[in-house]
Chain A
């Protein structure tokens, strides 16, 4: 089955800096890669996703890049703000099948 590795497990940045979270996946047939943000005690929220037919997608301050050859994808957050502090999960799936999640990255943005 699919295996998703996520790094780093924790990330501390100063407000205004950029943050990058990286994930690798094992199943070369995976073609859907979402990112979820989970604040303490709350539900995971889909913040951005990418499909394997594109290499990059942006939405305001967040972007995701995908390297199919290397089987890794990354989340980039620019101009970080304290409200970006949360746990971020990457995930991967093949078509309509089950999402496999990474173990999460705790992002702390200090004012």
Chain B
């Protein structure tokens, strides 16, 4: 089974802190994604990556950056956390080519910024 592991289930940070959310997948998937989930808004894509050291902006990249130094790891960085970044963050991965629409998600990180 594909496993996507997010390092923290719950995280509480203060406004202005730099926050790192880590995600690791164990199935050698090329594609990795970061989404945020807010009630009534569904899943919104923040950033994605199709290869090591490669990143693309999604629909809501402002206030975030990402890092992909190794194929299995994709990190989301909040440079200076703000209260409007309180949300559930979901990491996902998929293969390239046929089947790339089938995303495998981690369990999520609920981030609270106070």
Do they bind each other? no
A interface vs B, CB < 8 Å? none
B interface vs A, CB < 8 Å? none
